[in-house]
Amino acid sequence: MTLYKHFHTKEGLILEVLKKSQQDFQNWLDNKLSSNSKAPADKIKQLFDFIEEWITSPSFLGMGFIKASAEFPNEENPIHQLSSKQSREFRQYIGKLAGEANIKDADGLALQLSLLFEGAVQAEQMKRGSGAIKYAKKAAKLLIDGAINKQVLTTDF
């Protein structure tokens, strides 16, 4: 009964849990990136180091928006809509980091990196210790280095 005093429905509770868990993850990641580097290019380069740290920690339980979108696949459902919004916002966050690093196609890189992130999280949710984050991190490094080097090459002409 106490839960229903604060949340009128199960859906309301799930929405609040999604909001809180995403905010906690985002705050943690922001703090890690800001305390370890000031240079924008370094931040984007370190992104997957910290994601690996998070995924391999004993407290890792997965990413709420990925789980919720699978549980509530109907696009009209408010839980699915919030999950989709959180995925989009995280991609925009990566795009902002890439833009600050003067990467020309920041949105394209953000989409690529978010696909790697979500895939690694999904693989690790399904089987702890899958190793997916190691390969996602290698692929992310190649994409980021390529995008940064492309900037260097195009600005030299």
Which tens digit of pLDDT belongs to each residue from 50-88? 999 999 999 998 999 999 999 999 999 999 999 999 999
| Predicted pLDDT of residue 3 | 62
Residue written as tokens 């899958």?
A: 130
Q: Please check the confidence at residue 1 and state whether its pLDDT lies above 70.
A: no
Work out the angle between the directed axes of helices 132-155 and 106-126 (0-180°, nearest 10).
Answer: 170
Domain boundary assignment for the chain: 11-155
Q: Which residues of 103-114 are buried (b: 16+ CB within 10 A; e: fewer)?
A: beebeebbebbb
Give the model's pLDDT for residue 157. Answer: 42
CA distance 79 to 125: 19
In the predicted model, what is the mean pLDDT of residues 5-13?
Answer: 79
Residue 150: the pLDDT is 79
Q: What is the pLDDT of residues 115-141, one digit of tens each?
A: 999 999 999 999 999 999 999 999 999
Number of helices (H), then strands (E), belonging to the chain: the values are 7, 0
| pLDDT at residue 155, as a whole number | 46
pLDDT in tens, 90-119: 999 999 999 999 999 999 999 999 999 999
Cβ–Cβ under 8 Å, residues 62 and 72: no
pLDDT bin (cut points 50, 70, 90) of residue 151 is: low
Task: Report the CATH number of the 11-155 domain.
Answer: 1.10.357.10
The overall longest dimension of the chain from CA atoms, in Å, is 68
